[in-house]
Structure 1
Amino acid sequence: MKRTYENLLIREATVDDALQLCKWWNDGKIMDHAGFPEGIHTTLENVINQIVSQDNLECRHIILYNDSPIGEMVYRTIDKDKCEIGIKICDFSMQNKGFGKIILSLFIDGLFSQYNFKKVVLDTDLNNKRAQHVYEQLGFKKICINENSWRDQKGNLRSTIDYELIKNEFISHL
């Protein structure tokens, strides 16, 4: 999928993006929100293999602003009507500027219109209030809170919130 809006571009990740993804994934500051405050300790080879093995069931995307990579997104097909997504704006200087709503609007619109999904699901850390606010502005509904459902890299218990968005409840911010 390729989506554009003003200076933003979302496109499928290629092998040329592997080094950038590897740097982001190994950066504890970037990965802390996902429970990896020390990064995920992956290798360039592992990232390349993941990109090469992408298919229509799971596909990673790169977010670019003025042709510079600022983050990543992924969707995973759960069934013919439903997919799960993830997003990270990895360039901290690009956070808190309203891009999240626009980027998610572009991506979700593509999932509904190009891939014919009827529902998009995601989860986020219970403490990630900024993300929760964005998801709810797009029409996502809280499904459940998973209290102390997993341990992060340092052994701390973490809680998550499950969200879902039905196509006819999507509020685009484009």
Structure 2
Amino acid sequence: MKILYKNILIRDAKENDATILTKWWNDGKIMAHAGFPEGINTTVQKVKHQLQEEIKNHKHRLIIEYKDCPIGEMCFFPCHDAVEIGIKICEINMQNQGLGHTILTLFIHELFQKGVPKIVLSTDLNNLRAQHVYEKIGFQKYDIQYNYWKDPQGEMHSAIFYELLPQNFIHQRK
């Protein structure tokens, strides 16, 4: 996949992206919202292997660039009658600038153009910033699971689940 809009590029992750992905995934500040306040303690080799396995399993990892610099990552994969997605703006100084909304809108537009019938995602119930962005784009809550999973520190996390149909997609670009 390749999406280019103004200074934003969304592209397929390559093997040499394993270094930046490892840096981001090991950073507790970046991963805290996902329940990993100490990062996930991985290696470049493990991430390279994961990227290869994802391709075999029809999961697509994408890199988000802004002004030619990697700032985050996305993924998508088939899930029953839908496509499940994930997004993370990993460079802290690029968060809260409206880029997430724009990037997500570009990505969703592309998926619907390819004929995806429904997009689903989930986030931590405490991640209010993400929920605001998802709802602004048209995602609708369909479930909340309390104490859904346990993080490495033994804390339970609740999750909120969203879905988006093409007719509910609000896609103004900034």
TM-score category (smaller protein) = over 0.9
Read off the aligned partner of 1:49 and give its amino acid letter.
H
| 1:46 counterpart residue number | 46
1:143 paired to 2:132: no
CA distance in 1 between partners of 2:58 and 2:110 (Å): 15
1:57 paired to 2:54: no
CA distance in 2 between partners of 1:71 and 1:149 (Å): 26
CA distance in 2 between partners of 1:55 and 1:9 (Å): 24
Read off the aligned partner of 2:127 and give its amino acid letter.
N
Percent sequence identity over matched residues? 54
**Which consecutive unaligned segments of at least 5 residues does structure 2 have?**
none
1:84 paired to 2:61: no
Structure 1 pair 121/148, CA: closer, same or farther in 2 (3 Å)? same
CA distance in 2 between partners of 1:150 and 1:50 (Å): 22
| 1:22 counterpart residue number | 22
TM-score, reference length from structure 2: 0.95
Aligned residues: 172
CA distance in 2 between partners of 1:35 and 1:21 (Å): 17
CA displacement, residues 127-146 of structure 1 (integer Å, 9 cap, x when unaligned): 11111010001100001111
Offset of residue 173 of structure 1 = 2.6
Read off the aligned partner of 1:75 and give its amino acid letter.
F
**Which consecutive unaligned segments of at least 5 residues does structure 1 have?**
none
Name the SS of the counterpart of 2:102 in structure 1: helix
CA distance in 2 between partners of 1:20 and 1:98 (Å): 22
Read off the aligned partner of 1:125 and give its amino acid letter.
D
**Aligned runs of 1:76-155 on 2, under 5 Å?**
76-79=77-80, 81-114=81-114, 116-155=115-154
Contact 1:101 1:173 in 2 (8 A): no
The CA RMSD measured in Å over matched residues stands at 1.2
CA distance in 1 between partners of 2:84 and 2:56 (Å): 15
Offset of residue 28 of structure 1 = 1.1
Read off the aligned partner of 1:68 and give its amino acid letter.
C
| 2:169 counterpart residue number | 170
Read off the aligned partner of 1:59 and give its amino acid letter.
H
State the 4+ residue runs in structure 1 displaced beyond 3 angstroms.
Answer: none
Offset of residue 112 of structure 1 = 1.1
CA distance in 2 between partners of 1:109 and 1:144 (Å): 24
TM-score, reference length from structure 1: 0.95
Read off the aligned partner of 2:129 and give its amino acid letter.
R
Name the SS of the counterpart of 1:149 in structure 2: strand
| 1:66 counterpart residue number | 67
Contact 1:9 1:63 in 2 (8 A): yes
